[in-house]
Amino acid sequence: MFVELKDINKTYGDFQASKDVNFEIEKGSLVALLGPSGSGKTTILRMIAGLETPDSGDIIINGVRVNDVNPAKRGIGFVFQNYALFRYMTVFQNIAFGLEIKKESKKNIKKRVEELLELTGLTGLGDRYPNQLSGGQRQRVAFARALAPNPDLLLLDEPFAAIDAKVRQELRTWLRDMIQKVGITSIFVTHDQDEAVEVADSIIVTNKGRVEQIGSPYDVYKKPQTPFVTEFIGQSRFIEDYHKFLGFDKGDYRGAVIRPEFIEAFKLDNQKIKNYIDASEEGTVKAVHFRGNNLELILDVNGIELATYRSLERRRVEVGEKLRVIIFKVIAFDGDKTVILENKELLGKNINNNMLESYLYDESQKSFVI
Partner 1 sequence: MVIREKKKLTPHGIILIVISVLFVLLMLVFPLVSVITNSLKKGFDFYIKSLSTEYVLSALRVTIIATVIAVVVNTFFGLMAGWLITKFNFKGKQILATLIDIPFSVSPVIAGLAYIMMFGRLGWASPIIDSINEMFGTDIQIVFAIPGVVLATIFVTFPFISREIIPVLNTQGKDEEEAAALMGAKGFTIFRRVTFPHIKWATIYGVILCTARALGEFGAVNALSKTRGETFTLPLEIDALYLAGSADSITAAFSVSSILVIIAVIVLILRNRFEHRELKQKEQV
Ligand X SMILES: Nc1ncnc2c1ncn2[C@@H]1O[C@H](COP(=O)(O)OP(=O)(O)OP(=O)(O)O)[C@@H](O)[C@H]1O
Q: Which is nearer to partner 1, 81 or 352 (CB)?
A: 81
Q: Which is nearer to ligand X, 13 or 292 (CB)?
A: 13
Binds ligand X (CB under 6 A): choice among 3, 8, 31, 39 = 39
Closest alpha carbon to 273 in 331, 341, 345:
345
Which of 32-40, 230-238, 263-271, 309-317 is the region at the interface with ligand X (rule: CB under 6 A)?
Answer: 32-40
Are 307 and 239 within 8 A, CB to CB? no
Q: In sequence order, which residues have a C-beta less than 8 Å from that of residue 48 and are 6 or more positions away?
A: 3, 5, 59, 61, 76, 153, 155, 187
Closest distance of CB 178 from ligand X, Å: 23
Are 125 and 137 within 8 A, CB to CB? yes
| 251/328 Cα distance (integer angstroms) | 17
Residues from 12 through 31 that contact ligand X (CB under 6 A): 12, 15, 17
Are 43 and 50 within 8 A, CB to CB? no
For residue 260, what is the DSSP state? G
Residues from 12 through 51 that contact Mg ion (CB under 5 A): 42
Mark residues 175-204: x for contact with ligand X by CB under 6 A, - for none.
----------------x-------------
| 111/220 Cα distance (integer angstroms) | 42
Closest distance of CB 98 from partner 1, Å: 4
Long-range contacts at 111-114 (CB < 8 A, ≥ 24 apart):
112/148, 113/148
Are 50 and 10 within 8 A, CB to CB? no
For residue 365, what is the DSSP state? T
Mark residues 101-120: x for contact with partner 1 by CB under 8 A, - for none.
xx------------------
Mark residues 125-144: x for contact with partner 1 by CB under 8 A, - for none.
------x-------------
DSSP result, 315-337: PP--TT-EEEEEE-EEEEEETTE
Residue 107 binding partner per list ligand X, partner 1, Mg ion, none, with a CB distance cut-off of 5 to 8 Å that depends on partner kind: none
* 367: number of Cβ within 10 Å: 12
Which of 84-92, 254-262, 296-304, 349-357 is the region at the interface with partner 1 (rule: CB under 8 A)?
Answer: 84-92
Q: Is residue 75 close enough to count as binding partner 1 by CB under 8 A?
A: no
Cα of first residue to Cα of last residue in the chain, in angstroms, is: 33
Angle at 71 between CA 69 and CA 74, to 5 degrees: 70
Q: Is residue 38 close enough to count as binding partner 1 by CB under 8 A?
A: no
Closest distance of CB 43 from ligand X, Å: 3
Closest distance of CB 140 from ligand X, Å: 22
Closest distance of CB 81 from partner 1, Å: 8
Q: Is residue 149 close enough to count as binding ligand X by CB under 6 A?
A: no
Interface positions with partner 1 (CB under 8 A): 49-51, 71-73, 76, 78, 80, 82, 84-89, 97-98, 101-102, 131, 145, 149
Interface positions with ligand X (CB under 6 A): 12, 15, 17, 35, 37-43, 191
Interface positions with Mg ion (CB under 5 A): 42
